[in-house]
Amino acid sequence: MILGGARSGKSSEAERRLTLLADDGVYVATGGRRDGDADWADRVRRHRERRPDSWATVETTDVAGVLRDATRPVLVDCLTLWLTAMMDEAGAWDDAAWHGGGEQKLAARFDELEDAWRSATVPVLAVSNEVGLGIVPEGAGVRRFRDEQGRLNQRIAAASETVVLMVAGIAMTVK
């Protein structure tokens, strides 16, 4: 698991590590498409250009499914974007939806991902943002996101053999 803040070098470090593991890795892009967002399109383009042609790219939020079926090393980039999609699915931005079953939906998705992570038969790397080092957000939805990101990071870190924190492009081994 590779954690860090924005522009800390997480993705580059994860890609470097996958290259050391396999010539034909699987890159799982969880971010989806954002029509009309030129900055997002540029970010996706830069990520694609860095990847070797021999890597398979899978654009999905079904990370657990990819991990269960994997026969070669996998890089998930990133769990933060996966979490955003799962929170959308669970209605986490609306207090009534969240307290009316959304929280349980998200917990089930966390369980599914952690189970697939623990039972993977190939090396798996994941990138995730460390979002809990800053100020306390003003809005309930944003606080909920920060809290759930922290819970997700803790679960995947506990299930991981190695955890790396990226700081200013420097990889610091945490576990």
Cα–Cα separations (whole angstroms), residue 55 to 23, 29, 44, 171: 7, 12, 15, 23
Tokens of 80: 């933060």
Tokens matching residue 156 = 């995947």
Is there a contact between 55 and 26 (Cβ–Cβ < 8 Å)? yes
Catalytic choice (47, 68, 105, 146): 47
SS3 of 55, please? coil
Burial of 38 (0-12, 13-18, 19+ CB in 10 A): exposed
Cα–Cα distance for residue pair 147/137, rounded to 1 Å: 10
For the chain, the first-to-last Cα distance in angstroms comes to: 9
Task: Let me know if 47 is a catalytic residue.
Answer: yes
- Catalytic residues, by residue number, are 47
